[in-house]
Amino acid sequence: MELYKKTASEIAEMIKSKEITSEEVTKHFLERINLLEDKIGAFSSVLEEKALESAKIYDNDNNEEKRKNYDNTSLFGVPVALKDNILSKGDLTTASSKILANYEGIYDATVVERLKKAGVPIVGKANMDEFAMGSSNENSAIKSVSNPWDLERVPGGSSGGSAAAVAAQMIPIALGTDTGGSIRQPACLTGTVGIKPTYGRVSRYGLMAFGSSLDQIGALAKSTEDLARIMKIIAGYDEKDPTTADVEVPDYLKSINNDIKGLRIGLPKEYFAEGLDKNIKEVVNKAVEQLKGLGAEIKEVSLPYVEYAISTYYIISSAEAASNLSRYDGVRYGVRKSDDSVEDMYVKSRSEGFGPEVKRRIMIGNYVLSSGFYDAYYKKASQVRRLIKDDFERVLTEVDIILTPTSPTAAFKKGEKNTDPVQMYLADIYTVSINMAGVPAICVPAGFVDGLPVGIQLIGNYFKEDLLFNASHKFEEVRGKIEYPEI
């Protein structure tokens, strides 16, 4: 049985009906990981024994009476991968950095706790750009990740391991994190579906912080229904994270099949200007026509301040990164590289522990926060961020959903942008503004350019993930099934 070709939702239903056991499914995907990991490099670590042990327990509890003891059993028994910056107790969690090479989680992140309470086995930690800083997954201190559609190309970043693992069908579903596009951009480049929820919808407790006002945990999968199922599990208020919102979480599965006739979709003219590959534009325009065919109403809108999004984002995120990463000093956290003077220990531990991109952002962050520059950079960026947020809030009173490209290009070749950080940063040009506004967005595959997948981005109002899932699911039905590459 080619079980790996099935979606997480299909597998969940098979386990529920006892057509297959969670242990059999988990074993099947662990074998896929062993078979393909050398080619893809999607995992930082694999938790084979733990995953099988959990699966056996869930199989014993797979009956009507015992399943009642679990919360939200929408993915009961279906194995999941975690991005390597999400803590799980007793498991290696390194953020793909040398500075955390030996670090094991001492508690479960809230999302992990909720997955376990929902009967979901965790198979391992997905590789990533170090501390989630990057758009290509070439910044991992462990190994670079390959795109399953073309092994010479990048899978996007920073959740490149999660995206590649799903696209290579090594795992049916994976958690990622999104600070400026780190779920949606790799979803676009690998032909997977990725959700960045509203800021505050999912707890960040147990997530290694990069940009605390921007980070959000989400997921990547092969179908929108899969994402609706996992969001049902991980979303919701958490008293351990004061930034989570005490807003009711709807049953996302109930609304995915709603008719989208009359749905107002806005196309921001700024996203279709110079810089967008003409072939990608054609794919996006075709998707717009398909949604129109489903009865959606299309309208041109304007988000004038998004032209400042990239510079604003890199000032704010780097400032927050410099602050958050100050704890990795060889004393509080991090591998200690010297026992000489305190200064020598700090310098050696951080110089040898952090990679070039992380150092670059720490230096940018410290610069924009320093005396004499704070007002000119950080304060000004915070003011522009407010204008960007106001733009989205205004447009989302005129339309229900905003539709844009997700990435200006399809997957690029490894090493192609490594010498030019600005070109690499521009890979996130269509995604960073969404994090600054705090609104939810989903990337759904829309077609192909030269054999490489391309996705569209659907952006919604605060806590309206259900509407995004609905539009994305209906679009998938007219787009047709995606056949993932055999590797």
- Residue 129 phi/psi, 5° resolution? -65, 140
User: Is-contact 145 154, C-beta < 8 A?
Assistant: yes
Helix extents (H) in 22-179:
22-40, 48-60, 64-67, 110-117, 160-167
Among residues 411, 362, 405, 330, which one has the least CA distance to residue 101? 330
Three-state DSSP class for residue 264: strand
CA 74/CA 267 separation, integer angstroms: 34
CA 175/CA 231 separation, integer angstroms: 10
Residue 161 CB partners (closer than 8 Å, separation 6+): 41, 42, 43, 44, 81, 83, 84, 96, 126, 127, 128, 137, 140, 145, 155, 174
Catalytic residue, chosen from 44, 158, 162, 203, is 158
Three-state DSSP class for residue 400: coil
CA 285/CA 405 separation, integer angstroms: 10
> Phi/psi zone of residue 444: left (φ > 0), alpha (ψ -120 to 50 degrees), beta?
beta
Q: Is 17 a catalytic residue?
A: no
Q: Is 349 a catalytic residue?
A: no
Among residues 46, 63, 195, which one has the least CA distance to residue 122? 46
Angle at 79 between CA 4 and CA 213, to 5 degrees: 115
Q: Is 98 a catalytic residue?
A: no
Among residues 296, 155, 175, 169, which one has the least CA distance to residue 233? 175
Catalytic residue, chosen from 6, 83, 196, 232, is 83
Spell out where 399-438 has E strands: 401-405
Among residues 128, 155, 132, 124, which one has the least CA distance to residue 142? 128
CA 165/CA 137 separation, integer angstroms: 13
User: Is-contact 130 97, C-beta < 8 A?
Assistant: yes
- Which amino acid is it at 84? D
DSSP code string of 276-333: S-HHHHHHHHHHHHHHHHTTPEEEEE--GGGGGHHHHHHHHHHHHHHHHGGGBSSSSB
CA 54/CA 116 separation, integer angstroms: 9
Enzyme catalytic residues? 83, 158, 182
